Amino acid sequence: MAIPFLWLFCFSARAQAPTQIPAQWSNAVRTLADKIAADAGSPSALAMNLTDASSLSAADASAVYDGVLAVLRARRFSIVSPEPPGGRDTRVQVTLSENAETYIWTAEIWLAAGPDKSTERQVAIVSTPRGANAAGNESLVAVTLNRKVIWTQAAKILDFAPLNEPQTTELAILEGERVVVYRADGGNWRLDRAVPLFHSGVWRDMTGLIDPNTGNVSFFGAKCEGDVRHLEQLRCQAGGNATVPAPVITTPYGAPRADTIAIGPACASVGPMLLGAGTGDWTQADDLRAYEQNSQVHAIGQLDFTGPILVLRATADGKSARVVSRNLQTGMYEASIVSISCGN
Amino acid sequence: LACALVVTLAPMAQVAPSRHPQYGGTLRVEIDATVISLDPPTAPLSPSGALLQAEAVAAKREIESLLYEKVNEDGTVPNASAAGAFRISEWQPGKHLTLVANENFAGGRPFVDSVEIEMGRAARDRRVDLALARTDLAEIPPEEARQASSRGIRMTASQPDQLIALTFTDGTGAVQDVRAREALADSIDRATMVEFILQKDGEAAGGLLPQWASGTAFLFSTAADPVHAKELRAQIGTSPQIRLGYDSGDALEESIAERIVVDARESGISLTAGTIPPDRFVGPNQNARLIRLAMPSAHAGAALVSLAPTLELVAKAGLAVPSDPDAEQIFAVQQAALAGFRLVPLVWVPRVYGVSERVRDWQAPATGERWPLADVWLDAASGVAGTPEPGAPKEK
């Protein structure tokens, strides 16, 4: 199932105000506070403590905890943190945890009791879906590679192309058995149209290409006429002999990277560049490195991916890269635009 | 904008292996289990039968997933299920299986031409064959993973998704008193098991689901509490006589059982350990045994639902597992299953695989998934063997 992502969702754009709770977490924060209040009984002093055992940033963890405290204060609980020596308040240990799919936020509650504090523990648990991972942008002094994930889905992506640039009102996705066009709609992508592709068989190393300039589709095992801008007229027939233009450029140093593409000048003082993917197999995390075409010995920029880079091609203007990768943490295929900026 | 600085990163490699798949070749696989029949089961296995035959059942499921496009959770094959990525070429029950690629597989022809599976290979034999490049893929006991890795064997591992636990098989006599069971549970030093027996390739287990799957495993204590164990032992009066059984062919269980003997003794509990006769759930006079529970799904709720019959068998807690439990219910079910100390989680261990240098695109299957052999391909340019073990037989 496809998950629409905001166009220009940028990996580096995660910073938030420290006390701001993302909207999708508000319910979980309120529910956890409600459960603590219910277990604690009548309003009293709570000796609260936080442990963050999740991948949340410190700012997000703090925002969640502050949100819980705010709800409890609104319910007339007073918060004591840390608990003073010899204190007999109800103790609450909040732990922010997670599993593969969700954030798990727990509160262990020990009600105020006698001096030995030997009361039975009560546990409140809430869960809320995890958002997109934020890692992925690494800046270097020479050039910075910026990655913008524009689409992610479970089905394998053979290629993709933003259409009608620079506004980019449509996005074409080439899959193994169909071409799909999505239309921008208020920050989300909505399915607009799709056509099946007929071909002679399914191959595990199937390849395909959308020409970002003409919109023409090339597809292994099928002959296609028409383009993705006029999808209703696109016709593909099985048994064709179309071949996908090889995107690989072998450098003079003898294929230093598995796939390499040429990128036009992005900076005044750096000439044309090469972008190269790594050499691991498709079970390994990958990186994209930038090299000056005239001096290919050392990379001048690098961007790490959480999985293999499967497709690496230039955009229509030749100044950025279209990258299809697979996120090994989620298993999803991701379509990204990688651009180059200069300076730090 | 100035972009003149050139930062030195990793130098370019002069030789880069291909990352694009190649077709052809024979993938050689060695497994410990012996699969006697590939016929669909005539009746579902009982929970105790599933525990006893877990290894063979798991191996059969792996093979079935290669032969059929779809296999039901109980091992039966839907009538309409299409052929899988491979078909049988040669079959010697319990010994050897040769599979060849299905050219017409709906999901695309596998990269390798054939797969040869040798069954009943002991752990040491598998490790030696990997080191000598006589096999391409074999499971390695997690406690031997570091040693194998140091000998140059490529390793991949799953998440820790196999629980080794102690269960009391007899509710009478010495272990009828819940204080005796709790005392033993409190005496066990799981951290030492992970540190020294598993060489850190595992996790201490307090609950019935691992932290990565549930997110709440930390709510179950894994710390030993010998002081409380001794208090309970003193309350009981006479020392309970616990006789612990373990699988005779399982070196890891044997090591864990020996550790439990030491821990129990330090808390004043009399415990002896011995092997369980083959095909028996428990040996004569034994009133406890070690078991392995494999997580059937990466989703905590689904895993708990699937494990419910087995948990009921060993925990005898009258569990009520909702069909789609939320995080709080998942925690509550585990709490209920463990409350009587009839089931004592010990450690989580991963499934560890050794692969030869020429194997590409192999990934240890995620919890609940099968071997991705149709996706694996062999790099003709590779084939370097690791360092042979001392005393390993020379290649002919």
Q: Do A203 and B326 touch (CB under 8 A)?
A: no
What pLDDT does A138 receive?
A: 34
- Cβ A289–B299 below 8 Å, yes or no? no
Distance from CA of B372 to the nearest CA of A (A): 11
Instruction: Collect all residues of chain B within an 8 Å Cβ-Cβ radius of residue A100.
Output: 212-213, 298
How would residue B147 be classed by pLDDT, with cut points 50, 70 and 90? Answer: confident
Query: What per-residue confidence (pLDDT) applies to A89?
Result: 84
Which is more confident, B166 or B200?
B166
B residues 95-124 closer than 8 Å to A (CB): 106-111
Residue B391: band (very low, low, confident or very high) from pLDDT cuts 50, 70, 90: very low
> What count of residues does chain A have?
344
Smallest CA–CA distance, residue A120 to chain B, in Å, is 13
Give the per-residue pLDDT at B171. 63
Q: How far apart are CA B46 and CA B57, in angstroms?
A: 12
Between B305 and A243, residue with greater pLDDT? B305
- Mean pLDDT for chain B overall: 87
Convert B173-241 into a string of H (helix), E (strand) and C (coil): HHHCCHHHHHHHHHHCCHHHHHHHHCCCCCEECCCCCCHHHHCCHHHCCCCCCHHHHHHHHHHHCCCCE
The answer to whether B284 and B276 have CB atoms below 8 angstroms apart is: no
Q: Which residue has the higher pLDDT, B15 or B241?
A: B241
Please judge whether A258 and B16 are an interchain contact, meaning their C-beta atoms are less than 8 angstroms apart: yes
Does ipTM surpass 0.85 in this model? Answer: no
Binary contact (A298, B7; C-beta < 8 A):
yes
* CB neighbourhood size of A192 (10 A): 16
pLDDT tens profile B97-135: 999 999 989 888 999 999 999 999 999 999 999 999 999
pLDDT at B336 over 90: yes
Cα A195 from Cα A229, distance rounded (Å): 12
Nearest-angstrom CA–CA distance, A125 and A95: 10
Q: What percent of chain B has pLDDT over 90?
A: 65
**What is the per-residue pLDDT across A266-318, written as a single tens digit (0 to 9) for each?**
666 677 788 888 877 788 888 888 887 766 556 778 888 989 999 999 888 88
CA distance B235 to B177: 11
Supply the pLDDT for residue B237.
Answer: 83
Residue B92 Cα, gap to closest chain A Cα (Å): 30
- Stretches where chain A sits below pLDDT 70 are 1-20, 82-84, 86, 113-118, 131-142, 198-203, 220-222, 238-258, 266-269, 294-298, 343-344
Token pair in block for residue B161:
């998704």
Residues of chain B with Cβ-Cβ distance to A292 below 8 Å are: 6
**pLDDT value of residue A125:** 96
Q: Which pLDDT score, from 0 to 100, does residue A225 have?
A: 80
* Partner residue opposite A97 with nearest CB, options B21, B218, B374: B218
Share of chain B above pLDDT 70, in %: 90
Give pTM, 2 decimals. 0.73
CA A272/CA A293 separation, integer angstroms:
6
Across A60-69, B152-161, B239-248, B344-353, the highest mean pLDDT is recorded for: B344-353
- In the predicted structure, residue B164 carries a pLDDT above the cut 60: yes
Interchain CB distance below 8 Å, B19 and A342 = no
Q: Rounded to 10 degrees, what is the CA torsion of B275, B280, B284, B285?
A: 80
Instruction: Please give the backbone phi and psi of residue B185, each rounded to the nearest 5 degrees, phi first.
Output: -60, -40
- Token pair listed for B7: 């930062």
| Residue B386 pLDDT > 90 | no
Burial (CB count within 10 angstroms: exposed 0-12, middle 13-18, buried 19+), residue A247: middle
- Per-position DSSP letters for B119-174, written without gaps between them: -S--HHHHHHHHHTTS-SEEEE-GGGHHHHHHTT-EEEE--S-EEEEEEE---SGG
Per residue in B259-288, pLDDT (tens digit) is 999 999 999 999 999 999 877 888 888 999
A254 touches chain B (CB under 8 A): yes
Instruction: Give the residue on A whose Cα is nearest the Cα of B21.
Output: A205
Using the CB atoms, write b or e for A205-215: b if 16+ within 10 Å.
ebbbbbbbeeb
Looking at per-residue pLDDT, the higher value among A80 and B349 belongs to B349
Q: What is the pLDDT of residue A247?
A: 40
Best mutation target among A104, A140, A304, A312 (most B Cβ atoms within 10 Å) is A104
For residue B249 the two structure tokens come to 């062919």
Which two structure tokens, joined as six digits, stand for B146? Answer: 């570091």
Per CB-CB distance under 8 Å, the chain B contacts of A287 are: none
User: Is residue A204 within 8 angstroms of chain B, CB to CB?
Assistant: yes
Cβ pair A90, A47 in contact under 8 A: yes
